[in-house]
Amino acid sequence: MENPKLYHPLILKHNKHPFHFFKDEHAQFVIQASNPICGDRFTLFLSLQDQVISQASFHGYGCAVSKAATSMLVERMYQKSIPKILQMTQEYLKMFESGNQIHDRELEIFKVAREFPGRTQCARLSWQKLSEEFQAWTQD
């Protein structure tokens, strides 16, 4: 218990004090990410201005890992274009399959979830959903 491997201090920090954790009624886009198996459910609130994310927040319920992963996603979206975010999410999601290093080294704290039964999905939840949504948008 002294070394709670899955729970990097940064994950615990984001779990306790998530970034922009509120409902934004004025958001242009609302995206739901939920996992029916464990009941985790997050809503992302996003707004675009001049082709980049100008406002992002989230709200909902989930475990420490899914909450921290969502918090760190929201934190990273600011001033980024949709293709740029898509690139980031795809690289992050691939990390769980390949185990490879990624550009944003801080996000590698989630890689360890691979070693825990049933927990990879927690780290992927919001990233996966956002990635799917943005991919659909860019294809439209």
Where do contacts with other proteins occur on this chain (CB under 8 A)? Answer: 1, 4-7, 12, 15, 37-41, 61-65, 116-119, 122
- 63 vs 107 by CB, closer to other proteins: 63
Q: How far is the CB of 110 from other proteins (least distance, A)?
A: 14
- Chain-centre distance of CA 100, in angstroms? 18
Q: How far is the CB of 15 from other proteins (least distance, A)?
A: 7
Q: How far is the CB of 38 from other proteins (least distance, A)?
A: 6
Give the span between the Cα atoms of 17 and 115, in whole angstroms.
Answer: 25
Distances in Å between the alpha carbon of 115 and those of 4, 21, 36, 78, 110? 13, 28, 22, 31, 10
Give the span between the Cα atoms of 5 and 112, in whole angstroms.
Answer: 8
